[in-house]
Amino acid sequence: MTRPVIGVIGNAYRVENRFAVQNVGEANLRAIARVADALPLMFAGAPDITDIEALLGVVDGIVLTGARANVHPSHFGVEPHVRHEPYDNARDSVALALAAECVARGVPIFGICRGLQEMNVAFGGSLHPEIRELPGRINHRMPRLESGEIHPDPAVVFADRHAVHLTPDGAFAHLLGRETITVNSLHGQGIDVPGQRVVIEGVAEDGTIEAIRIKDAPGFALGVQWHAEYDPHLNPINRALFEAFGAAVRERAVLVHTKRS
């Protein structure tokens, strides 16, 4: 049997502010290839290009990656504001429908940062555009210089910044073999109200939701608020997550292959 295929959602982007492209950070692709041991296949986060039915006939799993754009607040009944732009409405259309469909069909799905937020919204939850503005919360955005520019050193940007307390005997605690982990933090938006089937599995010290699973999902359906794709070749926590996702994808691929034989 060939390597399983994992679809990775793309993000709207403009080269030289003129040419429309879809992009995916290479860290996501390398984590899938090297740690999940699968073939990464980028697909467009645009409903006029990507047909979900056709996509799920090709891939064995889905990764909803992080992205700069916020999920549009109209999906959870809140008015948009220019201060919280950019948005990526096209990706929203694909990701929200895809998250629900993957869970319904038992297709393994792993949400990272924006991906976790999309999974929450797909199941009826809401988001807050700036977690740091809530009482008692810390700044979860990436480190910046005094000038306001993003810190130029990726090692600083993606360094572990805060603890996450996992639910005792929960899916993450079982998978990772511990109840407290330390993670990086590069987000402004975060979960406000969890969706109906969204089970909180990990919470930061300030109360920010950092890890979720979808209740009664027939397959792997986990999301993390941190960027697990950055260093799974070195970080044992992130490696365990991608290895478990890869194992679930291979199991699904074997099942589908057997049914087709």
Query: Which of the residues are catalytic?
Result: 113, 227, 229
The pair of structure tokens assigned to 14 is 């403009």
Q: How far is C-alpha 127 from the geometric centre of its chain's CA atoms?
A: 14
Tally the residues of the chain: 261
What is d(CA 134, CA 148) in angstroms, rounded to the nearest whole number?
A: 22
Strand partners, 21: 13
Q: Which residues fall within 8 angstroms of residue 143, CB to CB, at 6 or more apart? A: 150, 151, 156, 157, 159
Cα distance between residue 256 and residue 120, in whole Å: 27
Contact 108, 254 (CB under 8 A): no
- The tokens 């899916």 sit on which residue? 171
Q: Which residues of 31-54 are buried (b: 16+ CB within 10 A; e: fewer)?
A: bbeebbbbebebbbbbeeebebee
Read off the tokens for 59. 């891939």
Question: Hey, which bits of 28-133 come out as E strands?
Answer: 39-43, 61-64, 109-112, 127-128
